[in-house]
Amino acid sequence: MSTLTRKGAATRARIVEAAADLILARGVGGTSLDDIRAGTATSKSQLFHYFPGGKGELVGAIASFQSSRVLAAQEPFLSTLDSWAAWQGWRDAVVAHYGSQPHWGCPIGALVSELVATDRELATDVAVHMDEWRGQLEAGVRRMQSAGLIRADADAEQLALSTFASLHGGLLLMHMMQSVAPLEAALDGALAALRSHA
């Protein structure tokens, strides 16, 4: 949509943000285009003007929006992760972000989880955002290795995957228990595991 005017881009962004909240609350399957039209005060023609690919295109835009919001909440730590203080700062930023959200859990993970059963192609597209996030953690582990803070013989890919799995396991239990405590415990355990490779 690079040809949109500034006003058009703002309208599209407004639709994405409002639809993101609806889908987070109800799920992709539980949110129809009519629901989105009503929730965003958008006509059918206007909705298809901004999203000619229909609901799938809108869900893809929502995934990008949610990913940007989630990753931005982890800065300035996520893009550096070159010291134990940075990893602790990242942990605290993740807890602060998810603890402040009106819905428990991860919006990107929730999208992928639902779409895997209903639209594998779209699920694959959305999962790219998860891969980017995991890749940032792996880059952080490698920076720690370059700085001599994590052993050079440690498997950076495996450590990043373990940390990412702990994070999302904590988010799943956080959603189930309606408490930030499982996320805190999962991240503390993940950092302890990382430190064991110092």
Please report the pLDDT score of residue 133 as a whole number: 97
Please report the pLDDT score of residue 2 as a whole number: 58
pLDDT in tens, 17-49: 999 988 988 889 899 999 999 988 899 999 999
Please report the pLDDT score of residue 104 as a whole number: 79
> Which of the residue ranges 68-77, 98-107, 186-195 would you say has the lowest mean pLDDT?
98-107
Give the confidence band of 129 by pLDDT, cuts at 50, 70, 90.
very high
Give the tokens for residue 77.
């730590």
- pLDDT higher for 10 or 135? 135
Please report the pLDDT score of residue 4 as a whole number: 76
- Of 3, 130, 114, 4, nearest in space to 55 by CA: 114
Give the tokens for residue 126.
């959305």
Q: Which domains does the chain have, with CATH numbers?
A: 6-61 (1.10.10.60), 66-195 (1.10.357)
pTM: 0.89
d(CA 111, CA 118): 11
DSSP H/E element including 89: helix 84-99
Answer positive or negative: Cα dihedral of 156, 158, 161, 166. Answer: negative
d(CA 62, CA 107): 10
Q: Percent of the chain, pLDDT > 70?
A: 99
Please report the pLDDT score of residue 166 as a whole number: 98
Mean pLDDT of the region 123-132: 93
d(CA 14, CA 23): 14
Mean pLDDT of the region 61-83: 95
> Which of the residue ranges 71-80, 107-116, 158-167, 169-178 would you say has the lowest mean pLDDT?
107-116
d(CA 195, CA 198): 5
Residue 1, pLDDT above cutoff 60: no
If you average pLDDT over every residue of the chain, what do you get?
Answer: 93
Asked if residue 19 lies in contact with residue 85, where contact means CB atoms within 8 angstroms, the answer is: no
- Give the CA distances from residue 161 to residues 41, 139, 166, 192, in Å, rounded to whole numbers and listed in that order: 41, 12, 8, 15
